[in-house]
Amino acid sequence: MAPIKAVEAQNWLIEKIAHRLGVEPSEVSPEQYFDELELDSTEALILAGEMENWLGFELGTTALWYHPSIKELAAHIAEESATRTEAGHAASA
Amino acid sequence: MPPRRSRVPLPVVRLRPSAAGSGTVYLVHPGALAAGVHATLAEALPDGVGLTVLDLSALPEYWEAALTGGRAETTVEALAGRLLDEFTGAYDGGPYALAGWSFGGVVAQAVVRQQPPAQRPARLVLLDSIAPTEEYQQPDEALLPPLLIGWFAMYLGAKRGRPVLLDPDRLAACGVDDGLLLVLDAAVASGALAADTPLPGLRKLYDTYVDGLLRNNRLTAPYRPRPTEVPLVLVAAERSLIPDDPTLGWTPLAPYGLEVHRSPGDHYTMLTRPDAAELIARLVRPTPVPARTGAKKV
């Protein structure tokens, strides 16, 4: 499976967050910090679970803390996805 | 990269200032809900009495464990020592009362043990805290899905302000996966969750909740509490976590007496219901430390 690119992760996050907030995706900035969004902790965890299901791997709840904006988290997801894909290829080689 | 938390919780949260001489209630809070959940109690206190929350979830060694698998690199005694330092820094020398909700009551009891005798509160008020005694110290495996799913539904209902009521018969027979489906159906029906809430999202919320419980369970398991040097006042919720034991196991730790009250609500809603807050407000009366009479063993 191809690794997920940062822009894909960013678009996924923006679409889901916009849906939760009831706004257009264009109104959600990639630079936005999660703790500035009108998501409470319950919604944030539900979003994290949905995201892990989409990614196919566990991201760790602290990821939202260490990568606190949409853009930073998307970059981290891409990096993590690439590492996992590479490890998968190495294991099957 | 340094983490950014613009809303870093603080260990000392003054929910209501006290008027001169009226005293302050200090309440040990274990997280799960935000410290502001005690605002209903703050409003119910007599005029002038302050409420300060000592928030365990502001201590990284405690809160991070709920996000990383439920293993905390600390002990009940160490947490109590940290909170005693926070209390000492916040205490103004006036009348005060000490209380703790849930696992916060366990830590508050350990705080009293570490206080110099002359500075101890007149009594300790426990809000639906389960005693850390052998009777209730249990391995993780003893926390079976029906119990955890039932507690999780209670928590979710309190968190969202809408009750999430499960069919007891279906709950009794459930595993985690079908139990979460029960919760999802009930939560959507009551309006606690949006209709399009995905099951993997609810699963993440559940796993994090359970990690918080496991963290407290694992902190309690090796802990050997000593009897409390002041009388205990227990307020057990009508829908307590342990509904069959009105004392929640505190009798062996209460050589100076155990007074038991029953509050309306469940383990979580007892903090937000005005009728429960009215009862609790009557029980947490700040007492001047120097004027206190010595407690007598019963």
Domains and CATH numbers, chain A: 6-92 (1.10.1200.10)
Same domain (yes/no): B189, B206? yes
Q: Which domain holds residue B158?
A: 142-216
Structure tokens, B23: 């005293």
Region of B70 on the Ramachandran plot (φ > 0 left; ψ -120 to 50 alpha; else beta): left
Do residues B240 and B120 share a domain? Answer: yes
CA distance B67 to chain A (A): 6
For residue B264, pLDDT over 50 is answered with yes
Nearest CA in chain B to A36: B6
B79-101 average pLDDT score: 96
Q: Which of B5, B67, B202 sits opposite A46 (nearest CB)?
A: B202
The domain boundary residue, chosen from B216, B244, B274: B216
**H-type alpha helices, chain B:** 39-44, 60-63, 76-90, 103-114, 145-160, 168-172, 176-190, 199-220, 274-283
CB under 8 Å to B286, separation ≥6 — which residues?
B18, B22, B23, B24, B25, B49, B94, B95, B96, B97
Q: Domain for residue B4, yes or no?
A: no
User: Do B174 and B34 belong together in one domain?
Assistant: no
Question: Which residues of chain A from 3 to 42 reach within 8 Å of chain B, CB to CB?
Answer: 33, 35-36, 42
Question: Letter for the amino acid at A28?
Answer: V
Give the number of domains in chain B: 2
Report, as an integer, the average pLDDT of B291-297.
55
Name the pLDDT band for B294 (thresholds 50, 70, 90). Answer: low
Residue B184 lies in a domain: yes
Q: Do residues B64 and B198 both lie within one domain?
A: no
The shortest C-alpha distance from A93 to chain B (Å) reads 32
Per-residue confidence (pLDDT) for residue B223, from 0 to 100: 95
CA gyration radius, chain B:
19
CA-CA distance, A48 to B188, in Å (whole number)? 19
In this prediction, residues B55-67 reach a mean pLDDT of: 85
Q: Give the residue from B216, B243, B274 where a domain finishes.
A: B216
Read off the pLDDT of each residue in B108-137 and give the average, rounded to a whole number. 95
Q: What ipTM, to 2 d.p.? A: 0.83
Count of pairs with CB atoms under 8 A, one residue in A, one in B: 58
Strand partners, B288: none
The rounded distance, in Å, linking the Cα atoms of B126 and B188 is 33
CA–CA distance, A2 with B182 (Å, rounded to integer): 36
Last residue of a domain, which of B195, B216, B237?
Answer: B216
Indicate yes or no: CB of B5 within 8 angstroms of CB of A45. Answer: no
Q: Is the pLDDT of residue B249 over 90?
A: yes
pLDDT of residue B8: 64
Q: Is residue B113 part of a domain?
A: yes
Residue B2: what pLDDT? 40
B27 with B102, same domain: the answer is: yes
